[in-house]
């Protein structure tokens, strides 16, 4: 019985230590994301600070206000397989252009063709998991260029019933879709990924604390969407999302690309763009939130 109690103590101690270690990387990001540095860098190219209307922890002596939470760079997981995708697409045409050189030309071509598209799918796992609020049908499938994919699918059966050479037109449509999809992936993965957090008391959240331009979609704090930005943003939507970590509750300010990837709103590409000025001029809430727990700032303790 004593051994069992001791084992539970060790387990709880390890669990708390692991939680603390995870908390220490919550804002700056894991050192593993930055292989050229021993620890997460203080500044990443493109990062800028919010304007004077924002209460941030960098301005506060009491450690109160909004803070940037870096997210794992998307490019680390998607760009390498994406780079191989065109090779497999081109290779899929070889058995059909030069038949009789493989045991089964159709099967080999199909496998290579499917592989070329499967290599583009890792970006799906990088989406934030919340519903896509873009109204247009093609945007629901972004970054995949659904228009040319559909054209390729519709034309493909014609090579069976009319002329086998029509199959090359279908392949051409798929090649265009493939190229445009890769462009979309690179564009989505080539920007800093982050969101901004504000610790709050759950009972403090209500639609009354929202700044102008934000519309509440939840009367109380919860894990999930709380409010949406009603203004138009090119290729983006902005949301306030409820987040809980341990015993601390947050509201998160998300800027989501139509691919589903979260981008850091305070990057030079947005702060220098007048179309985002109204969104970024003021914080989403009128309150400054609660004091951040010390264990989220390990460098200050060292």
Which residues, 6 or more positions from 12, have their beta carbon under 8 angstroms from its beta carbon? none
Residues 83 and 163 in one domain: yes
Total domain count, the chain = 2
For 87-139, the DSSP string reads HHHHHHHHHHHSTTSSS-HHHHHHHHHHHHHHTTGGGGGGS-SSPP---STGG
Condensed to tens digits (0 to 9), the pLDDT of residues 229-259 reads: 999 899 999 999 999 998 899 999 999 999 9
* Domain ranges, residue 114: 75-188
**Residue with the larger pLDDT of the pair 215 and 295:** 215
**Each residue's pLDDT tens digit, 98-131:** 988 888 989 999 999 999 999 999 998 888 777 7
Beta carbons within 10 angstroms of residue 285's beta carbon: 23
Could you count the other beta carbons within 10 Å of the beta carbon of residue 178? 24
- Considering the domain architecture, whether residues 155 and 216 belong to the same structural domain is answered as no
Q: What percent of the chain has pLDDT over 90?
A: 54
Is the pLDDT at 269 greater than 50? The verdict is yes
pLDDT digits (tens, 9 = 90+) for 143-162: 999 999 999 999 988 877 78
Tell me which of 35-39, 198-202, 203-207 is least confident: 35-39
d(CA 2, CA 103): 67
Residue 8 lies in a domain: no
- Indicate whether 79 belongs to any domain: yes
Which tens digit of pLDDT belongs to each residue from 206-220?
Answer: 999 999 999 999 989
State whether residue 272 is helix, strand or coil.
Answer: coil
Q: Count other Cβ atoms within 10 Å, centred on residue 289.
A: 23
Whether residue 225 is found in the same domain as residue 297: yes
Q: Are residues 266 and 286 in the same domain?
A: yes
* Cα–Cα distance list, 48 to 258, 267, 276 (Å): 23, 6, 14
What's the whole-model pTM score? 0.83
């Amino acid at each position: 019985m004593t051994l069992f109690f001791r084992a539970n103590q060790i387990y709880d101690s390890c669990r708390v230590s692991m939680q603390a270690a995870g908390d220490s990387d919550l804002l700056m990001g894991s050192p593993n994301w930055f292989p050229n540095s021993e620890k997460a860098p203080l500044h990443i190219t493109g990062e800028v600070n919010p304007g004077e209307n924002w209460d941030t922890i960098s301005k506060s002596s009491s450690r109160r206000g909004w803070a940037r939470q870096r997210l794992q760079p998307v490019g680390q997981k998607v760009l390498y397989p994406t780079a191989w995708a065109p090779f497999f697409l081109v290779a899929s045409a070889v058995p059909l252009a030069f038949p009789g050189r493989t045991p089964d030309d159709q099967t080999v071509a199909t496998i290579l063709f499917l592989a070329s598209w499967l290599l583009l799918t890792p970006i799906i796992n990088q989406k934030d998991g919340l519903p896509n609020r873009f109204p247009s049908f093609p945007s629901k499938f972004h970054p995949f260029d659904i228009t040319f994919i559909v054209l390729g699918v519709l034309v493909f059966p014609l090579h069976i019933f009319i002329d086998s050479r029509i199959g090359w037109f279908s392949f051409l449509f798929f090649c265009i879709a493939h190229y445009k999809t890769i462009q979309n992936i690179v564009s989505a993965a080539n920007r800093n990924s982050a969101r901004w957090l504000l610790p709050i008391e759950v009972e403090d959240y209500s639609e009354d604390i929202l700044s102008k331009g934000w519309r509440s979609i939840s009367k109380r704090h919860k894990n999930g969407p709380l409010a949406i930005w009603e203004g138009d943003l090119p290729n983006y939507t902005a949301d306030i999302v409820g987040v809980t970590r341990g015993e601390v509750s947050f509201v998160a300010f998300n800027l989501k690309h139509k691919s589903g990837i979260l981008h850091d709103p305070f990057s030079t590409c947005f702060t220098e763009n007048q179309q985002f000025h109204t969104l970024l001029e003021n914080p989403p809430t009128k309150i400054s939130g609660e004091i951040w727990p010390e264990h989220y700032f390990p460098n200050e303790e060292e």
